Amino acid sequence: MASEVERAIEAILMVADEPIPPDLLAQVLEIPTARVEEICAELATRYQVDDRGFVLARVAGGYRYQTHTDLAPYVERFVLEGQSARLSAAALETLAIVAYKQPVSRAQVSAIRGVNVDGVMRTLQLRGYVDEVGRDPGPGQAVLYGTTPLFLEKLGLDSLRELPPLGEFVPGAEVVEALEQGLSEPS
């Protein structure tokens, strides 16, 4: 027999149209946030054990119902326009730099990529994945950018802490060696 709060959480998430933060559920249900998180974890496990076609996901700081990834082929046939356009390689690289180095200025991103990124940054901002988050206190007061909750949704992440550590991507010894070789003088 499911508890009343458990059922209430299910009902509320069913009418929500964005991820609902646990604090809000806690406030509405008058229970501690920790209890909400416990219940949501239990519900998620329950759906998984029962082999449901949907999951209870934690995304961008909140909970929401989503379809099981297995069933994408069926859902795609049904959803006509849902798919958001793919990001280009240039956009993804720029997004990666903003994600890991935020808050960061356009000039800093340019310096890392070795190309002008003004156009790409505008596109990413227009699509809502990055936004202005402040200004550099130094001279010039460059606009600083950071990622948005929509970016987290796009990647299916709960928070930026879930990004894999950047250290994982530092090139290995063989790449460093190849580059050194490539740049060295012939002896």
Partner 1 sequence: MAYEVATPVFEGPFDLLLHLILREQVELWEVDLARIVDAYLAELQKLDTLDLDVATEFLLIAATLVELKTRRLLPGSDDIDLDEEFGLWEQRDLLLSRLLECKTFKDASAALQRMAERAERSYARRAGMEEQFLGLTPDLLDGVTPAQLHKAYLKAISPKPVTKVDLEHVAPIRLSVWEAIDELADELPRVGKISFRRLTGQLVERLEIIVRFLAVLELYKQGLINLDQGQRFGDIEITWIGDTAGIAAVDRELVDSYEG
Q: Within 74-93, which residues bind partner 1 (CB under 8 A)? A: 75-76, 79-80, 82-87, 89-93
Kindly calculate the radius of gyration of the chain based on its CA atoms and give it in whole angstroms.
22
Q: In the set 107, 136, 146, 158, which binds partner 1 (CB under 8 A)?
A: 107
**Spatial distance between the Cα atoms of 16 and 109, rounded to a whole number of angstroms:** 36
For a second copy, which is the closer residue by CB, 47 or 100? 47
Judged by beta carbon, residue 30 or residue 164, the one nearer partner 1 is: 164
By CB under 8 A, which span of 23-31, 33-41, 43-51, 124-132 interacts with partner 1?
124-132
In this structure, are residues 144 and 104 in contact, taking their beta carbons and an 8 Å threshold?
yes
For 156, left (φ over 0), alpha (ψ -120 to 50), or beta?
left
Tokens of 67: 């379809």
If one asks whether residue 25 binds partner 1 (CB under 8 A), the answer comes out as no
Cα dihedral 120→126→132→136 (10° resolution)? 30
170 binds, among a second copy, partner 1, none (CB under 5 to 8 A by kind): partner 1
Q: Which stretch binds a second copy (CB under 8 A): 15-23, 130-138, 139-147, 150-158?
A: 15-23
d(CA 141, CA 146): 16
> H or E stretch including 175?
helix 173-183
Which residues of the chain form contacts with a second copy (CB under 8 A)?
1-2, 6-12, 14-17, 20, 24, 27-29, 50-54, 65-68, 70-71, 74-75, 77-79, 81-82, 84-85, 114-116, 118-119, 123, 126-128, 186-187
